[in-house]
Structure 1
Amino acid sequence: MTVSRAFTIAGSDSGGGAGIQADLKTFQELGVFGMSAITAVTAQNTLGVQGVYPLSLDALKNQIDSVATDLKPAAIKTGMLFNAEMIQLVADRIQYYEWENIVVDPVMIAKGGQSLLQIEAVSALLTTLVPLAKVITPNIPEAEVLTGMEIQTIEDKKEAAKKLFNLGAKFVMIKGGHDITGEVVIDLLYDGNSFESFEGIRRETKHTHGTGCTFAAAITAELSKGKTVHEAVGTAKEFIQAAIDDQLGIGGGHGPTNHWAYRKKNLIFSS
């Protein structure tokens, strides 16, 4: 029996809606064995981030090496990396193990507005990690920071995608959730030659904590199965739409999405 395996290198969310917890839930729901290396522990709930406690570089390296040398992940997702030193370490390990299916989710700001990436780490992300990415999945605010440009129109999204592609990423996915115009959320995928739009229904809800982590984790899970990037993104779009549509409504702030909604939806349709 061949077991698909995916590996997430990211921060821990004590509230369970984002980070390592969201990634592992997503892997599980998509039938993939998940592994993790924790970069930082956060004290966090739906109301915000109460504390961030980064691990040592040795702790991070040892976690990555332990997974890599025994469990052999087929796809790797990076999330919250916190500082330039961690970014460099992760990039070094990716190159050392010659990993190719790398999904970079450039986590910078929590839903409540708290910074999760030191500002001086942005250049390290651009120069060391983006060039290794099979797919990079910034939302609009993240893409603005990474490209140094304002993004308001579809043409702006395309220009930002081209800039990130020119830095070395093989595919660029500019997510449209922060574009509040219209009833449709449009995510734009660029492969260096053409653009493909993935549309979803916009829901008026505050329960969207962890959507970026979950979306990128779903792409990673599908890549670990041998799916193409376009196939992986298509499944990830369906997964996150279901997770937003079937709300849990828990917590007093930005609540988490429903990670079992995609499976629940498919079970209903198949019965």
Structure 2
Amino acid sequence: MTPPIVLTVAGSDSGAGAGIQADLKVFAAMRLYGTSVITAITAQNTRDVRGIFPVPAEMVTEQITALTDDLPPVAVKTGMLGSTAVAEAVSVAARSGLLPNLVVDPVLISTSGRQLGVVNAIERLLPYAMVATPNRAEASAILGWTVSTPDDMAKAAGQLAATGARYVVVTGGDADADAESSADGAVDALWTGDGLRLLRGPWVDTRNTHGTGCSFSAAIAGRLALGDAVPDAVAFAKEYVARALLGAQGWELGSGHGPLDHHGWSGRDGRGSE
């Protein structure tokens, strides 16, 4: 059976924990055919981002055109865009109908703290988003006020929906394990247009968190490609990332924020068994 095509538009992570590499792993794990448009090349590992080489906007457009001419995607996700010019190129494609079921992950800061994007670039894409998936820090940067508690996240999701995104998920997984905001587990706020839902899951205590946001948004796009309604796709993605965190909990890849277990190599319970 021919697999659905899913497209990721994002930066390349040389450490393969986030960005294009993480997205393609998620698609492969879901038995989807992943394609990619690279917006920037980064030199990074589990500790830090050492360099960023932006891809010219014209080349981003060429990649999108080449793929949509021959391998049109059923769903698309964006990650690191890097510049307003690239965001404009992607938004033109979205406005033209080339990027269906668009999931916008507004990547602004890496797990290690490096600036990866600018707010005005993200704002150009939000009106075309089926789903937007900011974490608390990204929502804070876009809205201009500090998003911290679950109540804040719920308010922020509603405000971000006013930008044009049909669904908004403000994720709380970037909270510190000992912080008050993580006391009730990993909480996400989903704005559906008909109201708000708080999605709760277990907190996974691990240093291996690199690429959680990328993987979450990629999993949503993947399930949209398979025909899920958005709330079901979000619920699946939350469970998928929790399993990937648990699976990699004991991994010792690198000395910083390590990657996730995208393929379930460690087993669903994280100990090598189902």
TM-score bin, normalised by smaller chain:
over 0.9
Conserved? CA contact 2:6–2:34, under 8 Å:
yes
For the 8 Å contact 1:100–1:132, the answer to whether it is kept is no
Summarize the alignment of residues 3-22 of structure 1 with structure 2, pairs less than 5 Å apart: 3-22=3-22
What are the residue-to-residue correspondences of 1:97-116 with 2, within 5 Å? 97-116=97-116
Q: Is the 8 A contact 1:239 1:262 kept in 2?
A: no
Structure 1 unaligned spans of 5+? none
Range with greater deviation from structure 2 (94-103 or 162-171): 94-103
Give me the whole-angstrom Cα distance separating, in 1, the residues matched to 2:121 and 2:222: 26
The residue correspondences of 1:45-194 to structure 2 (distance < 5 A) are 45-117=45-117, 121-126=118-123, 128-179=124-175, 180-181=179-180, 182-194=183-195
- Percent of aligned pairs with the same residue? 40
Deviation at 1:197, TM superposition (A): 2.2
Q: Which whole-Å CA distance do the structure 2 matches of 1:229 and 1:243 have between them?
A: 21
Q: Is 2:73–2:100's contact at 8 Å kept on the other side of the alignment?
A: no
Opposite residue 157 of structure 2, the aligned amino acid is A
Higher relative contact order (CA 8 A, sep 6+): 1
2:134–2:171: 8 Å Cα contact kept in structure 1? yes
Partner-residue secondary structure (3-state), 2:137? helix
Paired residue secondary structure (2:233): helix
Worse overlay, 186-195 or 85-94: 186-195
**SS of residue in 1 equivalent to 2:23:** helix
Please identify which structure carries the higher helix content: 1
**1:26/1:218 contact within 8 Å kept:** yes
Partner residue, 2:32: 32
Q: Deviations over 1:219-243 (max 9, x none)?
A: 0111011111111111111110011
Cα distance in 2 between the residues matched to 1:215 and 1:160: 19
Q: Does 1:257 align with 2:260?
A: yes
Deviates more, 1:80-89 or 1:54-63: 54-63
Paired positions, count: 265
Q: Offset at 1:154?
A: 2.1
What SS is found at the alignment partner of 1:265? coil
| Whole-angstrom distance in 2 between the partners of 1:209 and 1:254 | 5
Secondary structure at the counterpart of residue 261 of structure 1: coil
**Alpha-carbon distance in 1 for matches of 2:221, 2:54:** 24
SS at match of 1:47: coil
Q: Is 2:51 the partner of 1:44?
A: no
TM-score, normalising length: structure 1: 0.93
- Which deviates the most, 258-267 or 46-55? 258-267
**RMSD, aligned α-carbons:** 1.7
Counterpart contact for 1:41–1:53, Cα < 8 Å: yes
The 3 A distance-change label for structure 1 pair 175 and 92 is same
Measure how far apart 1:98 and its partner are: 4.5
- Any gaps of 5 or more consecutive residues in structure 2? none
